[in-house]
C-alpha cells in the first residue's frame, strides 16, 4: 500500500471509529436516562424498581469500560465483507440491528484471533489498530491465505509484549493468539486445567475465559457470580483490573486465606505443620477432636431441683452420646438429641422418687403435669445447663481448634502429630483456613441462636402485615374520587412491609464475600500448584457444579502440601470431568533470560520442558559478586538507576535481606527489571528453594541482574559476570554488557 493510500485508509478508519464512539455515547446517554428514571421510582413495586436499577447500573458500567480501546481491529473476508472487532458489540438500530462492531467474544469474531496464512478461515486480511484514547494512531495489516504475501503477524503482539509494564495486568483482547483463543472458547462444563511456564499468559487467558463464559452463559452465571482465587493480595491487585476492563464486575477476588469470612490470617506455619494440615489425613484428626469434646462425667453430676436431687452419671451420658452420634447430625445440632435423652432419664428418675408415695400410674393428668413442671425446672436450672456445656458443649470452629493446638493431651487424644502444637492457638495461618471451614460442617449451627433470629424476623413480618391490614380499607366505603388516596396508602404499606423484610441491598460481590455458604457458578484458581488437598475441599464446596478454570505450573510449586500432579488433586472430585491444556509460548520472558532459567529447571525438574520465548531483547542477564558490606549499596544503586526509567522493577531475595521481597510474593507478577539477591541462599531455603529461584528469575520482561556473596550456583553460570567495581545497568541499554571485562 502506498503512503497516499495508507493515509486515505487511516482517515477512513478514524472516521468509522469516531462514528462508533458517537453510538457508544448515545447508548450511554440512553441507559443513564433510564437509570435516573428508575431511581425516581416511576412505577413498579420496590422490589421491581430495585432489580431495574441494578440491571441498568451494570449496563452503564459495561458501557463505561468500553470507552478505552473500543475498537481494535477489522477483519476482511474473501467475499469482500468486513467486520470491526471491539470490546463490546454495537448495532445499527435503523438498519435491522445490523452489527457495526462485533464483541470480541462473539463466534463471528473468532477468526480475528485464529486466522493465519496457512488456515485463513475464509479471511483475506486482518487489520489491527493502534489507538490512543479515542483516536486511531495507525494500523497494521496482515495478509491471510497468501504465503509470502506480506503477512506481519508479530507486529501488534511484539509491540504489546515489549511495552513497559504498568501497575496492573492489561487485557489482551487485541493480541490474543490462536493457542490462547482455543482455550478461552473451549466448551467444557467441568474443570479445565491450563498449565504453562512463566510468561505464557495462562492467568490472563483464564480471566478472558471467564469473560467469555459470562458473555455466552450470562443468565446462568451472573446470579451466583465467579470466584477468582490467587496466591496473595499483590497478585490480586495486579490482575484485578482485567475483568472490569472487559465489562465484568460480578467477580469476587480472594486468596485462600480469605475463604472463611472475618478470619484474620497473621501467622505462618512451619513446612511440616503445613504439610500435615494440607493432607486429607487431617480429617480424621478433626473428627476425633470433635468426638473428644463429647465427654462422659468422671463422677455423677448432681442437679438440685425443688423437691429432689438427680444425678447425671456416666451410664446416662454414654447412652445419650451414642444416640446423639447415631443421629448423623453435626455436633451442635446433635446436642439436642443428647439433651433430650439426658432430660428424659432425669425426669423419669425424679418422677419415680417424687411420686412414689402418692402418684399412681392411673393418674395420667397429674403424671403429665409433674413431668411438665420438671421439664420447665430443668430448662431453667443453671447447674443442668452447665453440665450440658461440660459434657456436650456448643462449639465454633475457633473454640475447637485453638485449644487443640495448645494442648499436647488433646492432640494425642485426636491422634494428631505434635508438630501442630503451638503456644498461641488463635494465631491463624493460611493452612488453618480449610480446617476451620471443614469444622463449620462438622460442628453445624447453634440452633438456639438461629431460632431467636427467626422469631425476631417473624415478629417484624407480623407487624408489617398488621399495618397492611389497617391501611387496606374496604373499597365499597370509598368514593371514586378517593381511590387515589387508597392507592397512595397501599403503596406506602408495600414500602413499609418491604423494609421489614430486610432485603439485602448489597452488591453481589459484597454479599458473596461475606457469606461462607455462598456458592459460585464458576471458580478460577491461579497458582493452583500451591493448593493442598484440603484447600481443594474448600473450593469444591464453593462450586457444587464443579465448573473450574485451573491455572498453574508444577515447576513453580513451592508448598510442601501442593500438587505433584493434577490428577491426584482433581480425580477424587471430578472423575473423568477434567481436561488438560498447555501453553507453550512465552510472551513475557525474553530468550536471553529464559536460557538462564531453563538451565536451573533442567537441574531440579529435568522432566519439565520450559516454554519457548517468542522474542529476544538483546540484553544479556548479568551477575556481580559483592561482599556483605557492599550488598546494601549495590541494591540501592539498582533501585536508583531503575527509578529514572519507564516501567517497573523489583528486588527479590531470601528472607531477612533488607530492601528485598521474597519470590513467593511476586508470583504471577511481571516487572521490566529484576534484581535477584543471593540466589545461593534462596536455593538453600527449604525443599522448594529451586522453584523459588526459578520464579525469581522469570519475573523480568527486559533486564535481569544477580548479586551474590558466595559462589554462584552451578545452574547460573551462564550469567555474564561483572567486575567488582563496575555496575552494568547504565550500559545495558547500549548493548555493551558482553564487552565488560576486568
pLDDT in tens, 26-80: 998 998 888 888 887 766 666 677 777 777 887 887 788 778 788 988 989 988 8
Residue with the larger pLDDT of the pair 739 and 332: 332
Strand partners, 649: 673
Q: Using 50, 70 and 90 to split pLDDT, how confident is the model at 658?
A: very high
What separation in angstroms does the CA of 505 have from each of 51, 521, 542? 10, 21, 22
Radius of gyration of the chain from its Cα atoms, rounded to whole angstroms? 34
Q: Read off the pLDDT of residues 688-734 as tens digits, 9 standing for 90 and up.
A: 889 899 999 999 999 999 999 999 998 898 899 887 655 444 444 43
State yes or no: 203 annotated in a binding site: yes
State yes or no: 198 annotated in a binding site: yes
- Which whole number is the average pLDDT over 648-669? 90
Q: Read off the pLDDT of residues 391-417 as tens digits, 9 standing for 90 and up.
A: 999 999 999 999 999 999 999 999 999
| Homologous superfamily, domain 191-256+518-583 | P-loop containing nucleotide triphosphate hydrolases (3.40.50.300)
Contact assessment for residue 538 and residue 433, using Cβ atoms and an 8 Å cutoff: yes
- Least confident range from 300-309, 451-460, 647-656: namely 451-460
pLDDT given at position 149 = 38
pLDDT given at position 459 = 59
- Which whole number is the average pLDDT over 106-119? 77
State yes or no: 199 annotated in a binding site: yes
What integer best gives the mean pLDDT of the chain?
83
Domain ranges in the chain are 3-168, 191-256+518-583, 271-443, 591-735
10 Å Cβ neighbour count for 528? 29
Q: Read off the pLDDT of residues 5-32 as tens digits, 9 standing for 90 and up.
A: 889 999 999 999 999 999 999 998 998 8
What separation in angstroms does the CA of 324 have from each of 321, 369, 468? 5, 27, 45
Q: What angle do CA 620, 621, 624 make, to 5 degrees?
A: 125
- Which whole number is the average pLDDT over 664-691? 88
484: pLDDT strictly greater than 50:
no
- Which whole number is the average pLDDT over 102-122? 80
585: pLDDT strictly greater than 60:
yes
143: pLDDT strictly greater than 70:
yes
- Which whole number is the average pLDDT over 328-336? 97
Q: Read off the pLDDT of residues 84-103 as tens digits, 9 standing for 90 and up.
A: 988 889 998 777 778 999 98
Q: Using 50, 70 and 90 to split pLDDT, how confident is the model at 179?
A: confident
Residue with the larger pLDDT of the pair 379 and 477: 379
533: pLDDT strictly greater than 90:
yes
Environment class of 679 (CB within 10 Å of its CB; exposed 0-12, middle 13-18, buried 19+): buried
| Homologous superfamily, domain 591-735 | P-loop containing nucleotide triphosphate hydrolases (3.40.50.300)
Spatial CB neighbours of 215, under 8 Å, sequence gap ≥ 6:
103, 105, 106
State yes or no: 200 annotated in a binding site: yes
Same fold, 191-256+518-583 and 591-735: yes
pLDDT given at position 656 = 86
- Which whole number is the average pLDDT over 518-531? 95
What separation in angstroms does the CA of 721 have from each of 345, 558, 607, 676, 737? 84, 28, 29, 14, 9
User: pTM score, two decimals?
Assistant: 0.74
State yes or no: 429 annotated in a binding site: no
117: pLDDT strictly greater than 60:
yes
463: pLDDT strictly greater than 80:
no
pLDDT given at position 169 = 44
pLDDT given at position 615 = 79
Nearest of 283, 266, 192 to residue 534 by alpha carbon: 283
State yes or no: 33 annotated in a binding site: no
% of the chain residues with pLDDT over 90: 47
Amino acid at each position: 500500500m502506498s503512503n497516499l493510500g495508507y493515509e486515505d485508509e487511516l482517515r477512513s478508519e478514524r472516521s468509522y471509529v469516531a462514528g462508533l464512539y458517537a453510538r457508544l455515547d448515545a447508548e450511554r446517554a440512553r441507559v443513564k436516562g433510564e437509570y435516573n428514571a428508575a431511581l425516581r421510582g416511576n412505577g413498579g413495586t420496590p422490589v421491581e424498581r430495585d432489580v431495574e436499577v441494578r440491571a441498568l447500573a451494570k449496563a452503564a458500567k459495561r458501557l463505561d469500560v468500553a470507552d478505552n480501546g473500543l475498537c481494535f481491529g477489522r477483519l476482511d473476508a474473501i467475499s469482500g465483507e468486513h467486520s470491526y472487532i471491539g470490546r463490546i458489540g454495537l448495532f445499527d438500530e435503523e438498519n435491522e440491528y445490523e452489527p457495526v462492531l462485533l464483541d470480541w467474544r462473539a463466534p463471528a469474531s473468532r477468526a480475528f484471533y485464529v486466522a493465519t496464512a496457512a488456515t485463513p478461515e475464509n479471511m483475506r486480511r486482518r487489520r489491527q489498530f493502534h489507538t490512543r484514547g479515542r483516536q486511531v494512531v495507525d494500523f497494521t495489516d496482515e495478509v491471510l491465505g497468501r504465503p509470502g504475501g506480506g503477512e506481519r503477524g508479530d507486529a501488534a503482539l511484539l509491540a504489546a509484549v515489549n511495552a513497559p509494564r504498568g501497575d496492573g495486568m492489561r487485557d489482551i483482547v487485541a493480541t490474543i493468539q490462536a493457542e490462547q483463543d482455543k482455550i478461552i472458547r473451549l466448551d467444557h462444563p467441568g474443570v479445565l486445567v491450563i498449565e504453562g511456564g512463566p510468561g505464557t499468559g495462562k492467568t490472563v487467558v483464564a480471566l478472558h475465559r471467564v469473560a467469555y463464559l459470562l458473555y455466552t452463559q450470562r443468565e446462568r452465571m451472573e446470579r451466583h457470580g465467579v470466584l477468582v482465587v490467587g496466591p496473595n493480595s499483590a497478585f490480586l491487585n495486579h490482575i484485578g483490573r482485567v475483568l472490569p476492563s472487559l465489562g465484568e464486575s460480578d467477580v469476587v477476588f480472594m486468596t485462600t486465606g480469605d475463604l472463611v469470612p472475618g478470619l484474620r490470617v497473621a501467622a505462618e506455619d512451619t513446612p511440616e505443620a503445613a504439610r500435615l494440615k494440607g493432607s486429607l489425613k487431617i480429617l480424621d484428626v478433626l473428627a476425633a477432636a470433635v468426638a473428644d469434646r463429647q465427654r462422659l462425667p468422671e463422677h455423677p453430676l448432681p442437679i438440685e431441683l425443688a423437691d429432689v436431687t438427680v444425678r447425671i452419671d456416666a451410664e446416662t451420658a454414654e447412652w445419650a452420646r451414642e444416640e446423639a452420634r447415631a443421629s448423623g447430625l453435626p455436633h451442635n445440632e446433635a446436642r439436642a438429641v443428647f439433651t433430650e435423652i439426658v432430660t428424659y432419664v432425669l425426669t423419669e428418675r425424679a418422677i419415680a422418687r417424687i411420686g412414689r408415695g402418692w402418684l399412681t400410674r392411673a393418674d395420667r393428668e397429674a403424671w403429665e403435669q409433674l413431668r411438665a413442671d420438671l421439664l420447665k425446672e430443668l430448662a431453667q436450672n443453671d447447674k443442668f445447663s452447665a453440665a450440658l456445656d461440660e459434657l456436650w458443649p456448643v462449639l465454633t470452629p475457633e473454640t475447637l481448634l485453638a485449644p487443640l493446638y495448645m494442648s499436647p493431651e488433646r492432640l494425642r487424644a485426636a491422634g494428631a502429630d505434635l508438630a501442630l502444637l503451638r503456644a498461641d492457638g488463635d494465631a491463624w495461618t493460611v493452612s488453618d483456613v480449610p480446617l476451620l471451614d471443614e469444622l463449620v460442617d462438622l460442628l453445624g449451627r447453634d440452633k438456639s441462636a438461629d431460632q431467636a433470629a427467626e422469631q425476631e424476623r417473624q415478629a417484624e413480618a407480623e407487624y408489617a402485615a398488621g399495618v397492611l391490614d389497617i391501611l387496606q380499607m374496604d373499597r365499597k366505603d370509598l368514593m371514586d374520587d378517593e381511590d387515589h388516596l387508597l392507592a397512595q396508602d397501599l403503596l406506602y404499606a408495600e414500602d413499609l412491609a418491604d423494609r421489614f423484610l430486610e432485603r439485602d441491598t448489597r452488591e453481589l460481590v459484597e454479599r458473596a464475600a461475606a457469606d461462607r455458604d455462598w456458592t459460585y457458578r464458576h471458580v478460577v484458581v491461579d497458582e493452583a500448584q500451591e493448593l493442598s488437598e484440603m484447600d481443594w475441599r474448600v473450593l469444591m464446596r464453593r462450586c457444587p457444579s464443579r465448573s473450574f478454570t485451573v491455572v498453574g505450573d508444577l515447576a513453580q510449586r513451592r508448598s510442601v502440601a501442593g500438587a505433584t500432579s493434577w490428577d491426584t488433586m482433581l480425580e477424587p472430585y471430578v472423575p473423568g470431568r477434567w481436561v488438560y491444556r498447555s501453553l507453550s509460548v512465552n510472551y513475557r520472558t525474553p530468550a536471553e533470560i529464559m536460557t538462564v532459567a531453563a538451565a536451573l529447571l533442567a537441574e531440579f525438574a529435568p522432566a519439565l520442558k520450559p516454554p519457548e520465548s517468542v522474542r529476544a531483547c538483546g540484553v544479556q542477564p548479568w551477575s556481580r559478586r559483592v561482599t556483605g558490606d557492599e550488598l546494601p549499596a549495590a541494591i540501592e544503586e539498582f533501585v536508583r538507576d531503575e527509578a529514572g526509567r519507564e516501567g517497573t522493577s523489583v528486588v527479590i531475595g531470601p528472607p531477612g535481606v533488607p530492601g528485598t521481597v521474597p519470590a513467593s510474593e511476586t508470583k504471577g507478577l511481571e516487572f521490566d527489571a529484576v534484581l535477584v539477591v543471593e540466589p545461593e541462599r534462596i536455593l538453600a531455603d527449604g525443599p522448594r528453594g529451586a522453584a523459588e529461584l526459578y520464579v525469581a528469575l522469570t519475573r523480568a520482561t527486559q533486564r535481569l541482574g544477580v548479586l551474590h556473596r558466595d559462589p554462584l550456583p552451578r545452574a547460573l553460570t551462564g550469567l555474564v559476570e561483572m567486575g567488582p567495581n563496575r555496575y552494568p545497568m547504565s550500559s545495558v541499554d547500549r548493548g555493551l554488557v558482553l564487552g565488560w571485562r576486568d
